[in-house]
Amino acid sequence: MSGLRTVLASIGVVGLVGVGYGMWAIISPGEERKREMLKNLPEANPVRMEETRKRNALMLQVLKDAAETNDNIARGYGGQK
C-alpha cells in the first residue's frame, strides 16, 4: 500500500511540474516579442546611455568626495567647526 502511495505521489508531482512548465511556455513571450522588447530598452538608445554614464560618473565622484572627507555632507551645514 505504501508503494502505491509513493508511486501516486510521484506521478502527482511530475504532473504538477508538467502543468507548471506548460503554463510557463504559454505565457512566455515569443522570439519576435523578445526582440521588440530589447529594442525598446533604454540601453538601446545611445543618447540615453551617454546621459546615464555621465550621471553615474557624477554620483561616483560625489561618493568619492564624501568618502575622503570627515564632514557630514548630508546635513549641508558646510562642515565641522
Closest CA to 81 of 68, 66, 71: 71
**Exposure of 60 in the CB half-sphere (CA atoms within 13 A):** 6
| SS3 (DSSP) at 27 | helix
Residues 6+ apart with CB under 8 A from 70: 80
Residue-wise pLDDT for 3-36, tens only, equals: 999 999 999 999 999 999 999 988 888 888 888 8
| Residue 70 DSSP symbol | -
Task: Assess contact for 13 and 21: CB atoms under 8 A.
Answer: no
Model confidence, pTM: 0.43
Residue-wise pLDDT for 36-64, tens only, equals: 888 888 777 888 889 999 999 999 998 89
